[in-house]
Each structure stands twice: as C-alpha cells, then as structure tokens.
Amino acid sequence: MTFDPELAQAIILDHHSNPRHRMDRGSLVGFAGGEAKVLQTTNPLCGDIVWLAVGEQATADGGLVFAYAGSGCAVSQAGASVLVSQLQGLGSDAASSVLENYLAMMDGEPACSELPEHLRAFGVLRDNAARRVCAELAAKLAILVLAGRKS
C-alpha cells in the first residue's frame, strides 16, 4: 500500500509543529507518579535525541501512558509525537505489536492494515537511509522501554 507523499509531509509537519504528549525532559522523571521507565537514545548520524517515558494508567485496564522529550529534525520529533499518540492506553502486548508492524513496514514489508494511518505516513521515508533512522528512533527506543518493563 502506497501512501500519498504530500499527506505524509502534512502529517509529519503537523506533529513537528504541534507535538502531542511532549514534555520538558526534567518533567519526565515525575511522569506517571514518578513510576515511569525513562530511556534516552541519540541518532549517531545527526545527533537527534529522544527521551521516552512509559508508565501505567491509574485505571482498571492498566493501559500504558507515554510521553517524550527530545531535540532534532522534524522527522525524529514528529515520529516520537505520532508514535506516542498511537500507543497511548494500549497494553504492553498491543503496543509491542504496533511497534513490530511499524518497523516491519520501515524494513520494506507492506504496511499492515492495522497500523494507524499516521504511522503508515512514515513509510514514504523508508528508502532514504538517513531519514529512516530518524523515523525509527522513537520506535526502537519504545521496544527497549517495553522490554525493560517486562524484566
């Protein structure tokens, strides 16, 4: 499934200009009542930085809550914003499934129909190696954060 490059650009620019669930880095420590797992990663190619915090909702379903902080290009920061928005409230298994489907799409597999549209938009970048690293930065960090929560 191909994605309209102009729509993809609009989604990326919207999330870069109007980030969702973005916090100051210092605020991530107190996120989710101070119980959040926080990790940081840097893109060695360009220096983009993403910090990701994952905690549990104080509700019966125990879904996860996500927030991020960071600096860098529009792709890395919009990627974090879109990813965090799409993972809000999901359980660990569902969030892991979204992440696996997203990274499979970025590896060249057809986009899974269950993958949210705003994540599918980043598929237009998968053939550009430098942009792809930026687009995958938050997703690869989220996998590490979720793995750390299970151990």
Q: What is the pLDDT of residues 46-85, one digit of tens each?
A: 999 999 999 887 656 668 999 999 999 999 999 999 999 9
Q: Is the CB of residue 85 less than 8 Å from the CB of residue 63?
A: no
Q: 79 and 122 in contact (C-beta within 8 Å)?
A: yes
pLDDT tens string, the chain, 151 residues long: the values are: 567 889 889 999 999 999 999 998 888 888 877 778 889 999 988 999 999 999 887 656 668 999 999 999 999 999 999 999 999 999 999 999 999 999 999 998 888 888 888 999 999 999 999 899 999 999 999 999 898 765 4
CATH 3.30.420.40 fits 5-150, yes or no: no
Backbone angles phi, psi at 143, to 5 degrees: -60, -45
